Amino acid sequence: MVTRGFTGRRPPRPEAERLPPGQYLTEDFPVLQLGPTPKIDLARWRFTLREGSKPLKSWSWTEFEALPRTRWKGDIHCVTKWSKFDTAWEGVTIDDLMAAAGIEAPTPYLLAEGYDDYTTNVPVADLAGGKAMVATRYAGAPIPPDHGGPARLLVPHLYFWKSAKWVKGLRFTQKDEAGFWELRGYHMYGDPWREQRFTGD
Amino acid sequence: MPTPLTWQDATITAAVPETPRVRRLTLAVGWPAPFRAGQHVDVRLTAPDGYQAQRSYSIASSPTTPETIDLLIERLDDGEVSGFFADVAEPGDAIELRGPIGGAFVWDPRMGGPLLLVAGGSGVVPLLSMLRHRAEAAPGVPALLLYSARTAEDVIARDELLRRDAEEPGFRLMLALTQGPSGRRIDAGRIAGALAALGMPAHTFVCGGNPFVSAISDLLVEAGLPARTIRTERFGG
Ligand SMILES: Cc1cc2nc3c(=O)[nH]c(=O)nc-3n(C[C@H](O)[C@H](O)[C@H](O)COP(=O)(O)OP(=O)(O)OC[C@H]3O[C@@H](n4cnc5c(N)ncnc54)[C@H](O)[C@@H]3O)c2cc1C
């Protein structure tokens, strides 16, 4: 349906091609979260892989900082419609994490869990093969608390609510279980290029 | 299981200035599910060549009259979508919309109170829906709105809020005007004053621009509110 009188402000072509449907480019870095930013003490921080409730492997901050590191630069897309180009992150890929733990993924699904009790589901296949990391640095500096520091998941090919902030671990699940937003009508997978914002998209 | 959200054509039935920068649009809508106070809708505008723009807008009206909703849209300089709603949209026009959206920033009467609402600028919009719903469905729930605006004429729904403050025993309005000779931002003192007047809130909702919401939620946590009782919504900026 054409909206009477709407012409729009089209982004230039190269920019438009990098924007998934329904998104606009922002230069700022907006924040999306449920509540206040949690205060996390690095001395007590841990990152844990679990299968159900059973811990498989756990790292302290110092141990985590010693894992192999990878840099990634690219575009991120938030379901609230903003996209940001050329964001630069550094952290530990999920491949390197699994290798360091000496395990294979026990199930094809998992829930990322945050220190704020946030959860979000991601298929393991979307984290493996260099597609995702647990990031600890943004733009060359530790990730600010408002953006999920000390560590956040980074799954840039999915809407950014999948990139859980203040991540404390990954919990492998037998089936694809809905996380916080997925239980509230947001899409189980969340591919921005197919505009999978909500259930049924 | 959540119901799929499909786009629908909603007709604008009224468009009036609310403040010098904010326009109130009333829309006739049909919902796939009842909406809850605090939720928002997505709107989608389409140009003749098929180009589209989407944005989110909170619902200002109460869920007890779901067949029409009010949106309060602030004009931003060079705003692609807010500019359209400020200058072009008129009653009789149809726009595409879907919702209700958002399951975390919601209040319903069963949740009870006391209810602390903190707004920066147009961030008051979803809180208005909560206050309107409270007055109809749960007037016994104590509620306080701490509302930061630039000047008195920028206060959205000012007459209504002042009237509620005067008439509703359980409701208090605290305005913080940031411009003018006695201009003051919301600081730790203001938060302490609100908490003294209301008591310890069971639920706190904070809405506004990004820096406002970050600053206020830090102040609330420092004032001793448990983080899990505080919900935030950020409009951007
Ligand atoms: C859940 C949610 C609910 C919202 N509810 C409301 C509401 O009830 N009323 C309302 O007026 N807005 C609301 N917004 C903001 C709204 O979605 C748009 O972002 C806003 O109208 C600007 O869109 P635009 O196309 O006019 O501006 P754009 O063309 O996208 O941007 C124009 C300029 O303004 C800046 N800008 C963009 N958005 C903002 C912002 N929110 N604050 C400050 N600067 C900004 C941009 O960086 C740019 O410089 C809400 C946003 C969200 C995420």
Q: How many domains does the structure of chain A reveal?
A: 1
Give the nearest partner residue to B51 out of A8, A39, A82, using CB atoms: A8
* pLDDT tens column, B20-74: 999 999 999 988 778 999 999 999 999 999 999 999 999 999 999 999 999 999 9
Is-contact B179 B209, C-beta < 8 A? no
Which two three-digit tokens encode residue A148?
């999920």
* SS3 call for A85: strand
- The pLDDT assigned to A12 comes to 87
Beta-carbon contacts of A121 under 8 Å, excluding residues fewer than 6 positions away, are: A109, A110, A111, A112, A173, A176, A177, A178, A179, A182, A188
Q: Is B56 in the pocket of ligand 1 (CB under 6 A)?
A: yes
Residues 92-121 of A with CB under 8 A from B: 116-117
Q: Which residues of A touch B228 (CB under 8 A)?
A: 35, 117
| CB spacing of B232 vs A146 below 8 angstroms | no
Instruction: Say if B2 falls within a structural domain.
Output: no
Instruction: Say if A123 falls within a structural domain.
Output: yes
CATH of the domain at A120: 3.90.420.10
List B204's β-bridge partners, or say none: B116, B230
Whether B224 and B120 map to the same domain: the answer is: yes
Whether B132 and B76 map to the same domain: the answer is: no
Atom 44 of ligand 1: nearest residue by CA position:
B237
Domain-ending residue, one of B50, B70, B101: B101
Instruction: Say if B210 falls within a structural domain.
Output: yes
Whether B80 and B126 map to the same domain: the answer is: no
* pLDDT tens column, A126-154: 999 999 999 999 999 999 999 999 999 99
Residue ranges for chain A with pLDDT beneath 70? none
Whether B40 and B156 map to the same domain: the answer is: no
CATH of the domain at B55: 2.40.30.10
The Cα diameter of chain A in Å comes to 60
Beta-carbon contacts of B77 under 8 Å, excluding residues fewer than 6 positions away, are: none
Domain encompassing residue B192: 109-235
Residues 31-60 of B with CB under 8 A from A: 44-48, 51-56
- The pLDDT assigned to A11 comes to 85
Q: How far is it, in rounded angstroms, from Cα A172 to Cα B167?
A: 54
ipTM given for this complex: 0.88
Instruction: Say if A35 falls within a structural domain.
Output: no
Q: Is B122 in the pocket of ligand 1 (CB under 6 A)?
A: yes
Whether B156 and B65 map to the same domain: the answer is: no
pTM of the full structure: 0.94
Q: How many domains does the structure of chain B reveal?
A: 2
CA of B235 to the centre of ligand 1 (A): 6
- Residue A21 contacts B, CB cutoff 8 Å: yes
Which atom of ligand 1 is closest in space to residue B60's alpha carbon? 8
